[in-house]
Structure 1
Amino acid sequence: MISLHHSPRLSANQCGSVVTQTIQAPLPLVWSVVRQFDEPQAYKKFIKNCGLSSGDGGAGSIRELTVVSGLPAERSTERLDRLDDESHVMVVSIIGGDHKLVNYRSTTTLHEGGGGARDTVVMESYVVDIPADSCEEDTCLFAETIIRCNLKSLAKLAEKMADHHL
């Protein structure tokens, strides 16, 4: 799965990596949260609100995000490039906004964990241009900090939901 979905080719001015989170909740439950392109704020705490500007939440849809204050941005425009419910793959590209995440593309995949049907492993990889006024290390640190926070929030939400379903 890593070589298939999480090994993007990087150009000289890009960086990228993979972040992994194990969640103690069944894969179908975790996927039901992740796949909601029109409601990322359910677990992504840096998003104030979201609205679809195009599409129905499936591949090709475009969402307009308002980011919480305190971050170096106010808005972001994102496109859902791929949504595969069978393979549990979601690919999103940032196509606009007032931030430095130029040519940002993330791939999120879900897998059953080693702990059986109760564990889910979420992998999120990304590739992004390195801004002219920054360096690879700082760009990667910024992107990975946001992804880690999002995945920890997803874990907390999904595990709480799983506990209520038992």
Structure 2
Amino acid sequence: MLSYYHIHTPPPSSPNSQCKSTLVQTIHAPLPLVWSVVRQFDKPQLYKKFVRSCSLICGDSGVGSIREINVVSGLPAQTSIERLDTIDDELHVMSFSIIDGDHRLRNYHSTIIVRAADEVGKTVVTESYTVDKPSGTSVEDTCLFIDTIIKLNLKSLAYVTEKMFRST
């Protein structure tokens, strides 16, 4: 049933202009702790190191809320405006879409699922996304760029939550 959330229906565009990927990270911390960090739509900077600051423009971190992300210097953007599409505390699912910003990512949609691993005390986080390929670049380069950012975010999530778990 959870795989349903990772099925992104691309907008009506050429399939050769769409980039998509799924990344997985195992974390040595319990699911409730990991989910408590991931689900904070208004505080992605808790683990996303490329986020300098975040403010809610609309909503209370529930579905339909909109946040403005200010990214660290060095990336090819300064801001990203994002909408929370799904938050499910029972299934541990969150999805969001980028709806505006001074970057080249169009029709970006991401889903994060947090689930207990087979091994007690471990958690598996899966993040999938789809995005249109910006003009002047390839699908491969677009995927490589976004995959790199998400991998770093997932590794940072592991570091932060494992450190929190060890200190309890």
Question: Identity of paired residues, percent?
Answer: 59
| Equivalent of residue 109 in structure 1, options 85, 107, 113 | 113
Give 2:85's aligned residue.
81
The alignment's TM-score, normalised by the length of structure 2, stands at 0.94
Residue 128 (structure 2) aligned to one of 111, 125, 139: 125
Describe how 1:1-166 pairs up with structure 2 within 5 A.
1=1, 3-10=3-10, 11=13, 12=15, 13-116=17-120, 118-165=121-168
Alignment root-mean-square deviation, CA: 1.1
Which 5+ residue runs of structure 1 have no aligned equivalent? none
1:7, distance to aligned residue in structure 2 (A): 2.9
Q: How many equivalent pairs are there?
A: 164
Q: Secondary structure at the match of 1:83?
A: strand
How far is the alpha carbon of 1:8 from its aligned partner?
A: 2.3
| SS in structure 2 at match of 1:103 | strand
Q: For the residues of structure 2 that align with 1:132 and 1:44, how far apart are their CA atoms?
A: 27
What is the TM-score of this pair, normalised by structure 1?
A: 0.96
The Cα of 1:2 is off from its aligned counterpart by 6.0
- Choose 6-15 or 94-103, whichever is displaced more: 6-15
For the residue of structure 2 that corresponds to 1:86, the secondary structure is coil
Segments of 5+ residues of structure 2 without an aligned counterpart are: none
Name which of structure 1's ranges 78-87 and 4-13 shifts more when overlaid on structure 2. Answer: 4-13
